[in-house]
Structure formats: C-alpha cells, structure tokens
C-alpha cells in the first residue's frame, strides 16, 4: 500500500489505495498522455504560447520602465541646468532632486524585478522543453518494467492525489492536472 499526506483530520480522512491499482492508473494515464499526441502537442502549444506571451509582456514592461528612467534622468539634467543657470534656488533644486532620486530608485527596483521575472519565465520555458523531451524519451520505453516506471514517476510526476471516492488525480511536472 502507498501512504498519504494527512494535514489534519478536518482536511483529510484515510485514503488508502492498493499499490497495484495506483500503479495501473499511473501506467494508463501515461500511456494515454504519450499515445494522444494531439493532446500532448496541444498542451505543449498552450504552455509555450503562454510562456511566450508572458515573456513578451515582461519585455515590453522592461522597455517601458527603461524609457521612464531615461525621462527621469532628463528631468534631473534639466533641473541641474536650471540651477546652474540660476533659474531655480538651491532649495528648489534639492526638493526636485529628492523627488527624482526617489523615482529613479523605484524604477530601478521595478526594472530589476521585471528582469528577474523574465529570467524565471525563460527557466520555465527551458523546463517545459526538458519535460517534453522526457515524455518523448519515455514514450518508447516499457513502463511495465518496474525500474523504468520508477524513473517515470520520479521525473515526470509532481504528486498524486487520491480522493475518498477512489478518484486519482495525477499532477505532472509543468502541466495542469490531468485526471484519471
């Protein structure tokens, strides 16, 4: 028998399932996933499209933030020129400079956060490609072989949930839940 995670009695009752039933369900689900190339390609396409869309939006936001930073830097140059030419007092210059410095800091932080998010998106896209290669690699292997099945379980499956009514939900790495 396989065990389960029990958070508290309020959240989870005993969900015990025969190992053979669980393994057969996983095998069947993997076979369906591998066999149904259309479903698999659709999944890859959706995930890739979403990753590309998010990356594109992040790149646009980074560009917009860089433009805003340039504008703020120009405003600093302008107030410096106004002060140098005697058009504004030192107090006016300091007040404007303080405001501009705060905006520069905020924009620099925003840009760094966006670049970090973009890097994470690229990592996710690489993980998706890795997942795709792993599925294709296992497509030609015999998942009836227990050693091969263990590899499949460790590399492709994030977690498996078993519900009271015997329903099993398999969560694959990088995929929305595919239920059995």
DSSP state of 177: -
What is the pTM assigned to this prediction? 0.48
Q: What is the pLDDT of residues 28-42, one digit of tens each?
A: 777 776 666 656 666
CB 97, CB 76: distance < 8 Å: yes
The yes-or-no verdict on residue 136 having pLDDT over 50 is yes
- 1 falls within a domain: no
Which range, of 113-122, 135-144, 162-171, averages the lowest pLDDT?
Answer: 135-144
Q: What is the CA radius of gyration of the chain?
A: 27
- 13 falls within a domain: no
- Quote the domain boundaries for residue 124: 19-179
Which tokens belong to 72? 């703020």
Number of structural domains found in the chain: 1
Look-up: residue for tokens 């140059």? 77
- 105 falls within a domain: yes
Burial 85-94 (b: 16+ CB within 10 A, else e): eeebeeeebe
According to DSSP, the β-strands at 168-172 and 157-162 are: antiparallel
The yes-or-no verdict on residue 139 having pLDDT over 90 is no
- 130 falls within a domain: yes
Q: What is the pLDDT of residues 59-112, one digit of tens each?
A: 999 999 999 999 999 999 999 999 999 999 999 999 999 999 999 999 999 999
CB 175, CB 130: distance < 8 Å: no
- 136 falls within a domain: yes
- 43 falls within a domain: yes
Which tokens belong to 50? 């979403």
Band (178; pLDDT cuts 50, 70, 90): very low
Look-up: residue for tokens 């905020």? 106
- 8 falls within a domain: no
- 2 falls within a domain: no
């Amino acid at each position: 028998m396989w065990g389960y995670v029990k958070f508290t009695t309020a959240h989870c009752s005993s969900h015990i399932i025969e190992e053979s039933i669980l393994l057969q369900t996983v095998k069947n689900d993997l076979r369906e996933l591998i066999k149904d190339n259309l479903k698999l390609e659709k999944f890859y396409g959706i995930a890739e499209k979403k990753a590309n869309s998010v990356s594109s939006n992040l790149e646009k936001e980074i560009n917009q933030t860089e433009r805003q930073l340039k504008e703020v830097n120009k405003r600093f140059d302008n107030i410096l020129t106004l002060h140098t030419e005697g058009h504004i007092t030192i107090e006016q210059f300091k007040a404007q400079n303080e405001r501009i410095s705060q905006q520069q800091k905020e924009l620099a932080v925003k840009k760094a956060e966006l670049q970090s998010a973009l890097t994470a998106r690229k990592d996710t896209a690489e993980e998706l490609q890795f997942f795709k290669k792993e599925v294709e690699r296992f497509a030609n292997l015999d998942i009836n072989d227990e050693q091969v099945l263990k590899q499949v379980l460790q590399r492709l499956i994030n977690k498996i949930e078993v519900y009271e009514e015997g329903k099993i939900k398999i969560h694959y790495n990088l995929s929305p839940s595919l239920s059995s």
